[in-house]
Amino acid sequence: MDLGDILSKEQIVTDLRATTRWEAIDELIGNLVSTGKIKPEHQDAIAAVVKKRETSMSTGIGFGIGIPHASTDLIYEVVGALGRSRKGVNFDSLDNQPVNLVMLFLVPQGQFQKHLHTLANIAKLLHKAEFRSALEQSPDADAMLRIIRDQGKR
């Protein structure tokens, strides 16, 4: 499962308003509701699951990247939303640096291998400095999605 498979341009927030990881999670889950990827009545339950996972250990993995994620039985396919913050989000990251790219994703309950595989693919992609830089410099969601899909083919 590649990043380009789970994102559409509507699921890319080019200018996150969030200043904390909790706000970023809420904002990206709100995006998944508005794009029809999760049901409005499931929003609070899904946010709680992601925040519970985030409380156990920050998914701010360094290099300005946060990858909040969780498994839930309230979805039937892997879904995600990408947020970009120009000012940086306080994510309680491993390197104590603000996060500029937040990739939230959800995996259906019980799909452990898919969860690990998706997380590994996203982390590998976002660890590439030139890829992160290209996303951070992109003018809009269309350009960001093009960069993501081009990288997925390499």
The tokens describing 9, both together, are 């341009």
Q: 126: closest CA among 93, 90, 82, 89?
A: 82
Within 8 A by CB and 6+ apart from 41, the residues are none
**CA–CA gap between residue 112 and residue 88 (Å, rounded):** 31
CB 99 within 8 A of CB 65: yes
Choice among 42, 69, 117, 127 that is catalytic: 69
CB 21 within 8 A of CB 89: yes
- Say if residue 154 is exposed, middle or buried (CB neighbours under 10 Å; 0-12, 13-18, 19+): exposed
Q: 134: closest CA among 106, 105, 100?
A: 100
The tokens describing 121, both together, are 């693919």
User: Is 69 considered catalytic here?
Assistant: yes
Q: List active site positions.
A: 69
